[in-house]
Structure 1
Amino acid sequence: MSKGILLVDDAAFMRMMIKDILTKNGYEVVGEAENGLKAIEKYKELRPALTMMDITMPELDGIQAVKEIKKFDPNANIIMCSAMGQQTMVIEAIQSGAKDFIVKPFQADRVLEAVKKVIG
């Protein structure tokens, strides 16, 4: 298990925003993926301490990706990211094994609070 964080979002600027918040606060981003399928591949390759995953993405959405990652590694730490108004999806994500969720647009302190809560 690495110490790093895997960022999964189909929007490159969202990944860049989160990466900026995390690296400025001493966290290491070890990988990025732009959809659920790539997220699963990257997770298996990198075994990150934490995965931050968008819900709505092409090819495979975040919820399906969480289910697949949890099958591969039941101890995976995953925080979901969603836009406002996706409450039902957030609930499904938590039921699928996500540890927390963050609402977009991101607030740096909320991102850090969620990361600290999940991986310290």
Structure 2
Amino acid sequence: MSTILIADDSKFMRMHLKHIILGHGSYNILEAADGRQAIDLYKRQQPDLVVLDITMEHVDGLTTLKEIMSIGDSATVVMCSSIGTHSNITECQQLGAHDFIIKPHFERLVDVLNSLIAINKLKRSE
């Protein structure tokens, strides 16, 4: 079973994303309320995929993304934020994010997650 880490400072948003994801498959879901927790969970659990907000307390999403990518440059991260400016999307891609979902437009979320998880499984089997 694939493990997905959802990092968002809004409990409502974490629950909403979890509901969407679990409605389309069976996954082990980890939750982090801020960037510091996300980094710690990533180090300990090495999830298959991370869904990461930009605006969070203690450590913001961009800093969290940098840290996660430095832990394992093969990390699979999807940014999920309402701050979908061209500069944020570009910066996230340059830092290693695989995709950017703009809240609250989650129509692509499940397809993106399924595609990235399938790619990860193929890489591990090689």
* TM-score over 0.5 (shorter chain): yes
TM-score (norm 1): 0.91
Identity %: 38
Inter-partner Cα distance in structure 1 for 2:103 and 2:42: 23
Cα 1:72/1:16, change in 2 over 3 Å: same
Shift of 1:84: 4.6
1:26-80, Cα deviation, whole Å (9 max, x unpaired)? 1414310011111000001111000000011111111111111111111100000
Moved over 6 A (4+): none
TM-score (norm 2): 0.87
What residue in structure 2 maps to residue 118 of structure 1?
Answer: 116
What residue in structure 1 maps to residue 123 of structure 2?
Answer: none
What residue in structure 2 maps to residue 60 of structure 1?
Answer: 59
Inter-partner Cα distance in structure 2 for 1:82 and 1:55: 6
Gapped regions of structure 2 (runs ≥ 5): 119-126
How many residues are paired up? 118
What residue in structure 2 maps to residue 41 of structure 1?
Answer: 40
Name which one, 1 or 2, has greater alpha-carbon Rg.
2
Gapped regions of structure 1 (runs ≥ 5): none
Inter-partner Cα distance in structure 2 for 1:66 and 1:84: 15
